[in-house]
Amino acid sequence: MGIEKYGTMLLSGLLGELSPDMIKGAMVELLGSTSVRETSEWVEKDFSLWERVPPNAQQRLKKFAHHFGNLDWLTAEWVIEALREDRPALASLFLGWKKARNWLARQIIIIKRELLEES
């Protein structure tokens, strides 16, 4: 096995291990920069989180998505837990409002579909 193949395997493994942290950072950035009021408006208007990701960031995330491996761990519950540390008020919004939690679950499904879509 050549050095390039080892490098590719190492990169895949590393990105697979880092993917939860990468996704956590992206989700906290997407939701963390908003107020509870603004997020509530997003829920009411069924706003798309994926569309809020800048196109260049969408492409980078898609490029690395095949290294992420199984994304079954990426759920609304996981995102809420990720928000608890940095944005406890937003986490509470999703925990206490069923419509918001359902909206977040739909957004996660859309994001996973977009990440795994062939470019």
The three state secondary structure string of 34-59 is CCHHHHHHHHHHCCCHHHHCCHHHHH
Confidence label for 89 from pLDDT (cuts 50, 70 and 90): very high
Residue 19 is predicted with a pLDDT of: 55
Name which residue leads in pLDDT, 24 or 38.
38
Residue range 27-79, pLDDT digits in tens = 777 776 789 999 999 999 999 999 988 888 888 888 777 776 678 888 999 99
Question: What are the structural domain ranges in the chain?
Answer: 3-116
User: The tokens of 95 are what?
Assistant: 């925990």
Confidence label for 13 from pLDDT (cuts 50, 70 and 90): very low
Among residues of the chain, what percentage have pLDDT more than 90? 39
Confidence label for 118 from pLDDT (cuts 50, 70 and 90): low
